Structure 1
């Protein structure tokens, strides 16, 4: 997502709500790497077979990057001939990688797409020649009038679970997220199935799932960065119980947080380069050990 998202009203809005419903967990001390210029606009993280993948968002190449989880250095680059209109999320099942080309800051897109890219038989490389598009739309969206950063049909977060793609919207107007599912086996344009909605009070920029917990990251127009952890109350349902919410810091110091991935070791969080006339923050990778966030 381009820097227009963080033209925020950030210069004057660093105050916090008087009624805080979250814990402070500053992640500055968990910074592990400065990311390469090749992924300085990274958007989304995902583990596949203990390998960490990321992509860049709109205006960048249509390459998929494997990075070292400790150093942040790029280990492999997989080139595709796709068009990166607004890639925003990456997830996987047991044999495929999925790329979400569904960024929609303006709210006028009618070509929302997820690409399924199979791994080869050895689960090492990607079969770029066998990419399948999965087009979808939001049945609830009736108005496609451009409303920059003021619509509820943007998205940057998805996971794969129970045979479905689970999408979590980035709702600029409502400051909520809506949980939809998409059938990855349908290649005709399908309506995303709405399951539940939760008031996050920030816009969601990525999601991860691990051991019956959903992890959402995102930020507010005041540049406050948050992580929310939800328990899976029943298969594929997350918003019934009260979650745990953490304030991670300000985008002015930790960057524009766009990625989260979780495994048994802990939580990996990435940010893209953040530039404003008064500040420049490099793209960082963070790692929070599992025992530190209970």
Structure 2
């Protein structure tokens, strides 16, 4: 009888000890969960619709709390300045043709507008238009200074199967950097250009660790000395997305000053992302073209470039 009682007491003690351990574990897990949520919130992804005038927004520049964009090939030769709500504040018409405008950057005094798109592979040169940052006193249509960059001769190129298509341009430390989309090799290249020369050859391709997506825009953060590139997975390789028409697989990559790849993230949008800029608060913004059933959008990604 006493033996049975002792065994019963021992069993109860073991159960109570197990219960106390279990309770501590539950409390610890709850605490970790709460602290984890407080210290690492998910980036807030906010989008606003752009007006029909910017239905094919193809590049993006942050200017204070405002933005500059434009449409790509065949669009009006007009730059649009607008706010974070997507409201157009000012327009600047240029007296040049919009062959295939793709990117825009600034040195703090001038804008550099890249007419460098070449999907079909038929261009022998690409253009960069230099425009004053302040439009208020400019007579419209404005005649910009134009830089012409001769492309290397590589024979007949097949559309979407070559590496001489460029959709990213960045001004950094006295130079313009043109980055290829690289349909064929999937290996983007960067080219250093002189913003003071009206005529120059494309020059030597410099190495760039591939982010495994087609680059459609780029930006450089001088405070952190880091590069950011945006784009989407080649739709001819993302077979399921292509077959199901489920949209583009937008991605963003971060590089150090020597263009060593630090990270790649997938963006929570299936739109065709074409523009990227970093505002004065180090926040990253993107723009995307209109789709079949949705307008073009300006998006605050919630990502910080700090």
Q: Could you state the TM-score of these two structures normalised by the residue count of structure 1? A: 0.78
Matched, 1:161 2:172: yes
1:204-257, CA deviations, whole angstroms, 9 ceiling, x for partnerless residues? 00111113111111112122111001111xxxx32xx33210011452xxx110
The aligned runs of 1:203-222 (5 Å cut-off) are: 203-210=214-221, 211=223, 212-220=225-233, 221=235, 222=238
Structure with the larger RCO, 1 or 2 (CA within 8 Å, 6+ apart) = 1
Query: 2:9 — aligned with what?
Result: none
Q: 2:108 touches 2:133 (CA, 8 Å); kept in 1?
A: no
Query: 2:245 — aligned with what?
Result: none
Q: 1: distance between equivalents of 2:42 and 2:160?
A: 27
1:123-169, CA deviations, whole angstroms, 9 ceiling, x for partnerless residues? 7555764511111134xx43241311111110100110111111111
- Of Structure 1 and Structure 2, the greater strand share is in 1
Q: How large is the Cα RMSD of the aligned pairs?
A: 2.3
* Partner residue of 1:41 out of 27, 38, 56: 56
Q: 2: distance between equivalents of 1:144 and 1:56?
A: 29
The aligned runs of 1:110-259 (5 Å cut-off) are: 110-120=124-134, 124=136, 126=138, 129=142, 131-138=144-151, 141-210=152-221, 211=223, 212-220=225-233, 221=235, 222=238, 223-232=248-257, 237-238=258-259, 241-249=260-268, 251=270, 255-259=271-275
| 1:282 partner SS | coil
- Of Structure 1 and Structure 2, the greater helix share is in 2
Q: 1:170 touches 1:203 (CA, 8 Å); kept in 2?
A: yes
State the 4+ residue runs in structure 1 displaced beyond 6 angstroms: none
Deviation at 1:198, TM superposition (A): 2.3
Q: In the superposition, relative to structure 1, how do residues 125 and 56 fare at CA in structure 2: closer, same or farther (>3 Å)?
A: farther
Q: Which has the larger radius of gyration?
A: 2
Q: In the superposition, relative to structure 1, how do residues 265 and 189 fare at CA in structure 2: closer, same or farther (>3 Å)?
A: closer
Q: 1:66 touches 1:76 (CA, 8 Å); kept in 2?
A: yes
Query: 1:19 — aligned with what?
Result: none
